[in-house]
Amino acid sequence: MPPAIALFGSARRRGNTGAFMDRIATELGIEVVDLSALRIAPYDYEHSHRGDDFEPLMRRVLEFNRLIFASPVYWYAVSSPMKNFLDRITDFLDLPELLDEGRRLRGKTGYVVCTSIYDEAPKPFVDAFRDGFEYLGMRFGGLAHVNCKDGYDPERHDAAATSFAQALLE
C-alpha cells in the first residue's frame, strides 16, 4: 500500500503545480489523481449528482491515512476543481447513509502542496485547509510550497519536493 494518495486540481495538468506534485509523487511512489479528469459536479443541496465520480473517488481516498491536496494559488484560494472536491466532502457529512464513511476522515493526516508567484503561500489559502482539516477531525501534516513566478524549475524546486516527501514518511 503506497504511503499516501494525492488529489490534484489545476487549470492545467502539466503546469507548475503538476510538475511539483509529480516530483513529490515519484519520490513517494504514489498516485496523483487529476480531479479535472473526473466528473465531479459542484456541490448542490439536493445531492443530485450522486452518480458522478465523487463517491467512488472518496471511497478510494478513505483507504489512505495520508491525503495530499495539491492546487495552485488562484486568487488567494484553491483552484476550481479542488474547491469542487472540497465542497463535495459535505455530501459525506450531510447524507445519513454516507456519514459513517465520512467519519473515517477523522484521525487522517492532510498535507498541502501548492505553487504561487510569491515566496510564501497566502495565509488564507493555507488556513482554509488547516481549519477544514480540523473541522473534519484531521491532523495538518505539513505544507510544500514553491514560488513559480518563472515557472517550475527542477534545479531550484526539486529540493523542496524531496524534503517534503521525506518528512511525510517520518
Ligand X SMILES: Cc1cc2nc3c(=O)[nH]c(=O)nc-3n(C[C@H](O)[C@H](O)[C@H](O)COP(=O)(O)O)c2cc1C
**Span interacting with ligand X, options 38-46, 71-79, 101-109, 131-139, rule CB under 6 A:** 71-79
In whole angstroms, give the CA distance from residue 125 to residue 108.
20
125 near 84, Cβ under 8 Å? no
Q: How many residues bind ligand X (CB under 6 A)?
A: 17
- Residue 135 interacts with ligand X (CB under 6 A): yes or no: no
Cell 445531492 belongs to: 47
What three-state secondary structure class fits 79?
A: coil
Least Cβ distance, residue 114 to ligand X (angstroms): 8
Tell me the H-state helices in 64-116. Answer: 80-88, 91-94, 96-102
Which residue from 42, 76, 93, 153 is in contact with ligand X, where contact means CB under 6 A? 76
- Residue 9 interacts with ligand X (CB under 6 A): yes or no: no
- Residue 75 interacts with ligand X (CB under 6 A): yes or no: yes
Question: In the structure grid, which three cell numbers stand for residue 144, read together?
Answer: 510544500
In whole angstroms, give the CA distance from residue 50 to residue 147.
37
- Residue 70 interacts with ligand X (CB under 6 A): yes or no: no
- Residue 16 interacts with ligand X (CB under 6 A): yes or no: yes
Tell me the H-state helices in 103-153. Answer: 123-136
- Residue 128 interacts with ligand X (CB under 6 A): yes or no: no
Least Cβ distance, residue 163 to ligand X (angstroms): 19
**Span interacting with ligand X, options 14-22, 37-45, 137-145, 155-163, rule CB under 6 A:** 14-22
Q: How far is CA 27 from CA 5, 68, 109, 115, 168, in A?
A: 13, 14, 19, 18, 11
- 133 φ, ψ to 5°? -60, -45
Which residue from 25, 116, 129, 158 is in contact with ligand X, where contact means CB under 6 A? 116
Which residue from 148, 161, 165, 168 is in contact with ligand X, where contact means CB under 6 A? 148
Residues binding ligand X (CB under 6 A): 10-12, 15-18, 72-76, 115-118, 148
